[in-house]
Amino acid sequence: MVLVLDKSGLPEPDAPAGAAAKRSLAGLDRVRLATALAEVGVPAKQIRMRVNQLWSWLYVRGVTSFDMMTDVSKDLRARLEARYTLDRLEIVTEQISIDGTRKWLLRLPKRGHEARAPEIETVYIPEAERGTLCISSQVGCTLTCSFCHTGTQRLVRNLEAEEIVAQVMLARDRIGDWPGAAIPGDDRLLPVGDRKITNVVLMGMGEPLYNFDNVRTAMDVVSDGEGLSLSKRRITLSTSGVVPEIGRWGEESGTMLAISLHATRDALRDELVPINKKYPIKALIEACRNYPGVSNARRITFEYVMLKGVNDSLADARALVKLLSGVPSKINLIPFNPWPGTKYECSDWETIERFAEVVNKAGYASPVRTPRGRDILAACGQLKSESTKLRASERERGVFASSGPSEE
């Protein structure tokens, strides 16, 4: 694997004089862009037109400088630059796995009350004909799912809507996914086609339905047909089961839905996914049956991590089929991805195949998710944003022993 960038051992840079008051426009929705324009003196009757101009430059072309906005007057560009930036989130580390998966540790802007700037992780997974970006919605998580690395990190705060959108913009920067952008030198690890990011999944750090309003606003920006223009059928929100918000999400946003299920019995799911104690399986499945727009064409994905000796028996497979009867769904079997300190092991491949056979024979699509980015702790359940989890010297001795992508 390659470590492209590592600034995790460096202190956070001091902001230049006056820079602390500047906010980036990158990631803002139309309402907040309108507010920003009003604050620099744009007349009310021009706001809508100016918002459309900025929107195109930000989300169609991906510009990083006001000087590039050639159809905006020099005077307005100067006023915007005096008060705002187009800065992206700061990259602390950038890693490329042997399979082409990329993981960024990103530093967010520090709020006034924060002792240090919080950090999140974002992962890009390229395949031959698609590229999936896995984004975070919170710094840390409150859910403490026992098999998930993020669950060992306390919740610091929710991400703002623009910080969620900014992950998409930064990823497009780094892989050359803007019109006319230069393609990185290792483009053999990118999908073939005009778009390198074809899908977005809210499966990174945090429970997105516990940050409902900001996530909804962010997905509205990402799916806007005059900007980033990603179809909501290519956006998937994954939830551990915040039952009261599932129907509301379907009504107000309408993206695809994934459920982090992992067990068919309440006693076991209480241990694996503790939110089950509040919203048990029966209530969760009922919410899925009633999800707006659910159909055979818009199936719900049920994620099921394969844990050796825990939830991987043939009886578990049959119980899963019975539980989901009548719910338009597909079942995503996920080989457990180990992380430091976990008590779980991954089911062996023969067990996974037998489990999948039971599910397939019942008529459910049940792809086994190919582990991606394990060598950089970028796979499902492995994300944790604390840059102190390994010192730079430890990474150099161990994880980053390889100097480049493997040819295997």
Any idea which residues carry the catalytic annotation?
121, 380
Residue 144 has which token pair? 């403490």
Q: Which residues are paired to 238 by β-bridges? A: 258
Question: What are residue 349's phi and psi, to 5 degrees?
Answer: -65, -35
Q: Give the dihedral sign, CA 206/237/338/362.
A: positive
Contacts of 101 (CB under 8 A, 6+ apart): 123, 124, 125, 126, 372, 373, 376, 378, 379
351 contact partners, CB below 8 Å, separation of at least 6 = 306, 308, 312
In Å, how far from its chain's centre is CA 371? Answer: 16
Distance in angstroms between the alpha carbons of the first and the last residue of the chain = 12
Alpha helices in 68-159 (DSSP H): 74-83
**What percent of the residues of the chain are helix, what percent strand, and what percent coil, each to the nearest 5?**
35, 15, 45
Q: How far is CA 10 from CA 88, 95, 354, 394, in A?
A: 19, 17, 49, 15
Cβ-contact 151, 143 below 8 angstroms:
yes
- Counting other chains too, the contacts that 177-186 makes at CB distance below 8 Å and 24 or more residues apart are 178/61, 178/62, 179/60, 179/61, 179/62, 181/62, 186/96, 186/100, 186/405
CB 294 within 8 Å of CB 328? yes
